[in-house]
Structure 1
Amino acid sequence: MRDELQALAAFAAVAEERSFTRAAARLRISQSALSHSVRGLEKRLGVQLLARTTRSVAPTAAGEAVLREVQPALERIARSLTEAQQQRDRPAGRLRLLVSRSAAQVVLMPKLKEFTEAYPDITLDITTSNDRAELVAGGYDAGIQIGEFIQRDMIAVRVSDDLRLAVVGSPSYFTTHSKPRTPRDLKDHICLAFRFSTGIYRWEFEKGRRAITFLPEGPLVFDDSDLLMQCVERGVGISMAMETLARERLADGRLVELMRDWCPVFPGYFLYYPSRHNQPAALTALIRTLRMPSQVSA
């Protein structure tokens, strides 16, 4: 197929230029190679496409018919290739992102206005999902996720500070329940769960050399952290959430934090993508906007 396209492009150039010499110069190939390509095409088709004399070259009737069909297609191909090259050199085009819902709130939302104003020719096509979907198979250019969830063969760029999970509850809940002081106290509480596609998230605790995991088995399971926090705020139960997502509710007293000394920090969010080879300018622009200051020269 590639040889056929090259031969058709060679024929079209000769037909348009009415000269093998000018067409060869335009295509930057030798005149003999151009003639060989056109003759090969004519032989495969079993029809003469160009009438040749010592002084001129012109398409035959069959050649005119072929030219009418292939010329618009060749022009579209040329435009597409030019646009693709421009995306490599100029921040433009569509960038498909797979982003966890919490990462969209913590990493993307604070930077979107800055990014869209700086790069108006880029369209970010954002899919938010807590599922750990395959980036390449899903047709995504890049993703944003917690570092420990990213496959090792991906290139990852840090785009947030370290994170901390917090156990939170509402003041109204604690009018009828005592505050848990250790993970072992959680068995006496209504614990609301968060679900990934791989299953319910087990709460992880550390203190000194002690590490404990706890599987919440309360009456509600969500895959949306904001809905989960709304239920906690209404006093339905307690739960674990990203401290950054609960910060406003903690600051104004709608929620209280529990067992902070059992909740360690861990590496935060990373933007990840498959390869640096021929990286589009749009992705480079997004990385520059989101990456942490300490990694600007990385």
Structure 2
Amino acid sequence: MHPSPLRRWRAVCVGTGKGWRGAADPARRPADTGRTAADGGQLTLGEQPLMVEAAAAGLGIALVFEGYAATALADGRVTRILADWCPAMPGLHLYYPSGRHLPLAMRLWIDHLRAALETCGDG
């Protein structure tokens, strides 16, 4: 499926309200169209789990990390579209200065990220 038909659908947006942007072949990618995959998106949320629930409720399409949508995909509440346009992301990478003494705040942040990713299935 080509992403062009998505312009007719509402989008569930994240944070700034930017619309869906595909990843494959930049020459065929739709332009960033503001709040939606077209112009009709009416919902902007700050967290991907909420975006999945909004999509499952029929409020629009959402682009989220697979781990956040895994349960909803498995039980059929949402459907994957445009899989060929979304690159595989095997995990997150965190770059930080190596040194003998890692600041406590950085250690806590790393531990938090690991726990959060394990919880959502990306760990």
TM range (shorter): 0.5 to 0.7
The residue that corresponds to 1:82 in the other structure is: none
Give the CA deviation at 1:214: 3.5
Partners of 2:11 and 2:19 within 8 A in 1: no
Give the structure with the larger strand fraction. Answer: 1
The residue that corresponds to 1:269 in the other structure is: 92
Alignment TM-score, normalising by the size of structure 2? 0.66
Give the CA deviation at 1:267: 6.3
Partners of 1:281 and 1:207 lie apart in 2 by: 39
Tell whether 2:67 aligns with 1:244.
yes
Partners of 2:102 and 2:23 lie apart in 1 by: 41
- Greater Cα radius of gyration, structure 1 or 2: 1
Partners of 2:103 and 2:14 lie apart in 1 by: 37
Change over 3 Å in CA distance of 1:193–1:260 after alignment to 2: same
Unmatched 5+ stretches in structure 1: 1-180, 291-298
Identity %: 25
Tell whether 2:25 aligns with 1:205.
no
Residues 198-243 of structure 1, C-alpha deviation per residue, up to 9 Å, x if partnerless?
A: x334422244563514332401111121222111111111111111
Of 183, 191, 202, which residue of structure 1 is paired with 2:11? 191
User: How many pairs does the alignment contain?
Assistant: 102
Give the CA deviation at 1:258: 0.7
Give the structure with the larger helix fraction. Answer: 1
Partners of 1:269 and 1:258 lie apart in 2 by: 23
Give the CA deviation at 1:271: 2.6
Residues 100-125 of structure 1, C-alpha deviation per residue, up to 9 Å, x if partnerless?
A: xxxxxxxxxxxxxxxxxxxxxxxxxx
Of 101, 104, 109, which residue of structure 2 is paired with 1:279? 101
Partners of 1:211 and 1:265 lie apart in 2 by: 18
Partners of 2:14 and 2:44 within 8 A in 1: yes
> How well do the aligned residues superpose, as a CA RMSD in angstroms?
2.7
What amino acid is the match of 2:93? F
Partners of 1:203 and 1:267 lie apart in 2 by: 20
Per the alignment, in what secondary structure is the counterpart of residue 210 of structure 1? helix
Per the alignment, in what secondary structure is the counterpart of residue 14 of structure 2? strand
Per the alignment, in what secondary structure is the counterpart of residue 241 of structure 1? coil
Partners of 2:11 and 2:60 within 8 A in 1: yes
Partners of 2:12 and 2:62 within 8 A in 1: yes
